[in-house]
C-alpha cells in the first residue's frame, strides 16, 4: 500500500464523516440541481422528488458508481430518509392517524399476507427459484430493499437473488410513484382513499411517501401512516420466515440473523405525539416542512443512484414477470378492498 493510500485510510478511520462526505455531496448536489431546474418555466410543475430520482438514475446508468460516494449515498438512502420520516411525524396528529381505522388496518394486513402467498405460489408456477421468489414477495409486500436484505439474512439467501430482487422492486416501485398520481382522478379516489392505496401497496417508504404526497396533505398523512404500519410488520414477519426456513432445513449460510427493528418508526410516533400535545408555531413548522422535502429529495436521489436496470434484466424474463405480478397483485388487492369497504 502506498503512503498516500495508507494516509487516506487512516484519515477515514479517524474521521468517519470524511467517508460520508463525497456521497452526501453527490445527493445534495443532485437535489440542488433539481431545485434549480424547477426555476425553468414548465419544469416547476414537477416535484423536486421526481426530478432527483430521474437525475440519480441517469447518473448511475450512464456514468456508473462514482468512486468514494458509496457510503454517503447509502447514508442518504437509509439515515437521511429515516430522519425525514420522523420529521413528517411533526405534521401528523393522533386524531389524523386514527383516520386509517380498522378497515385500513385490515386492508394493509390482508394485502401483505395475500401478496406473500400469491407471489411465492406464482414463483413456483413460473419456475423461479424459491429464494428469489421469497425475496421478491417480501420486498413487494412489506418495504422494499430493507425487507429484502433482512429476509436474505434471516433465511440465508443468495447475494445475486437479493441484488435482482432489490433492482426489480425498485423498478416497479418507481413506476408506481409516477403511475399512481396519474390514476388518482381516473379512479375517482379522494385524498384519504388515495393515501391508503399508496401506503398499503407501494414498495419503498420513500416511494410510498412520494406517491402519497401527490394526492395532497390528507393523502400524505394517511399514506405515510399506512406505509409505516407495513414497515412495523417487517420484524415479526421476517423473524417467522427465518424460523420456518430453519425448521424446514432450507436456510443457507448466514441464516439465523434477526432483522433490525425499525427504530425510526418510534421517532415518527414520538414526533406525532408531540404534535398532538403541543401546538407548534408556523415560524418553526414552515422551515421543518422545507427541510423535510429537501431531505426526502436527498433520499430519492440516492434511490436513483442505486437503480441499475442491468440487474433487472440479467436473470431473464421470468423473475421480472414475477415482480410485475407481485406489484400488480398488491396494488389491485388494496384498490379493490378500498373500493368495497371505504
At residue 7, the pLDDT reads 44
Digit-coded pLDDT (tens) for 169-216? 888 998 998 899 999 989 999 989 999 999 999 998 888 988 998 898
Tell me whether residue 12 is in a domain.
no
Specify the number of domains making up the chain.
1
* Model confidence at 285: pLDDT above 90: no
Mean pLDDT computed over every residue of the chain = 84
Digit-coded pLDDT (tens) for 164-182? 888 888 889 989 988 999 9
The pLDDT confidence band at residue 255, using thresholds 50, 70 and 90, is: very low
Tell me whether residue 7 is in a domain.
no
Tell me whether residue 3 is in a domain.
no
Asked if 92 and 225 count as a contact pair (C-beta separation under 8 A), the reply is yes
Residue 45 is part of which domain span? 19-341
Tell me whether residue 170 is in a domain.
yes
Highest mean pLDDT among 152-156, 188-192, 244-248: 188-192
Tell me whether residue 14 is in a domain.
no
At residue 251, the pLDDT reads 63
Q: Which residue has the cell 373500493?
A: 339
* Model confidence at 1: pLDDT above 90: no
Q: What is 13-60 written as a DSSP string?
A: HH-THHHHHHHHHHHHHHHHHHHHHTTSTTGGGS-HHHHHHHHHHHHH
At residue 20, the pLDDT reads 92
Region of poorest pLDDT, from 114-128, 136-150, 162-176, 257-271 = 257-271
pTM summary value: 0.70
At residue 163, the pLDDT reads 76
Tell me whether residue 13 is in a domain.
no
Chain centre to alpha carbon of residue 43:
25
Tell me whether residue 49 is in a domain.
yes
Asked if 49 and 297 count as a contact pair (C-beta separation under 8 A), the reply is yes
Tell me whether residue 246 is in a domain.
yes
Amino acid at each position: 500500500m502506498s503512503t498516500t493510500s495508507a494516509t487516506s485510510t487512516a484519515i477515514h478511520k479517524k474521521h468517519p464523516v470524511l467517508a460520508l462526505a463525497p456521497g452526501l455531496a453527490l445527493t445534495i448536489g443532485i437535489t440542488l440541481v433539481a431545485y434549480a431546474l424547477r426555476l425553468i418555466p414548465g419544469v416547476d410543475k414537477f416535484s423536486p422528488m421526481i426530478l432527483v430520482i430521474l437525475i440519480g438514475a441517469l447518473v448511475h446508468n450512464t456514468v456508473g458508481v462514482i468512486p468514494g460516494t458509496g457510503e454517503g449515498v447509502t447514508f442518504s438512502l437509509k439515515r437521511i430518509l429515516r430522519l425525514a420520516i420522523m420529521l413528517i411525524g411533526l405534521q401528523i396528529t393522533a386524531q389524523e392517524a386514527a383516520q386509517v381505522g380498522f378497515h385500513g388496518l385490515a386492508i394493509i394486513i390482508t394485502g401483505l399476507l395475500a401478496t406473500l402467498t400469491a407471489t411465492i405460489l406464482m414463483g413456483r408456477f413460473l419456475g423461479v427459484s424459491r429464494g428469489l421468489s421469497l425475496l421478491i414477495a417480501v420486498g413487494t409486500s412489506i418495504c422494499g430493499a430493507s425487507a429484502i436484505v433482512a429476509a436474505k439474512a434471516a433465511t440465508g439467501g443468495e447475494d445475486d437473488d437479493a441484488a435482482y430482487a432489490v433492482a426489480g422492486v425498485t423498478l416497479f416501485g418507481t413506476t408506481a410513484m409516477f403511475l399512481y398520481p396519474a390514476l388518482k382522478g381516473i379512479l375517482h379516489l379522494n385524498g384519504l382513499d388515495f393515501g391508503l392505496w399508496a401506503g398499503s401497496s407501494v414498495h419503498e417508504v420513500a416511494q410510498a411517501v412520494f406517491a402519497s404526497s401527490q394526492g395532497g396533505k390528507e393523502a400524505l398523512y394517511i399514506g405515510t401512516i399506512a406505509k409505516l404500519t407495513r414497515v412495523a410488520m417487517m420484524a415479526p414477519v421476517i423473524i417467522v420466515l427465518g424460523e420456518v426456513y430453519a425448521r424446514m432445513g432450507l436456510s443457507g449460510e448466514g441464516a439465523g440473523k434477526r432483522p433490525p427493528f425499525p427504530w425510526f418508526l418510534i421517532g415518527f410516533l414520538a414526533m406525532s405525539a408531540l404534535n398532538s400535545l403541543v401546538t407548534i408555531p408556523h415560524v418553526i413548522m414552515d422551515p421543518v416542512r422545507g427541510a423535510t422535502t429537501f431531505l426526502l429529495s436527498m433520499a430519492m436521489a440516492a434511490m436513483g443512484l442505486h437503480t441499475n436496470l442491468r440487474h433487472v434484466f440479467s436473470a431473464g424474463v421470468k423473475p421480472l414477470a414475477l415482480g410485475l405480478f407481485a406489484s400488480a397483485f398488491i396494488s389491485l388487492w388494496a384498490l379493490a378492498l378500498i373500493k368495497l369497504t371505504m
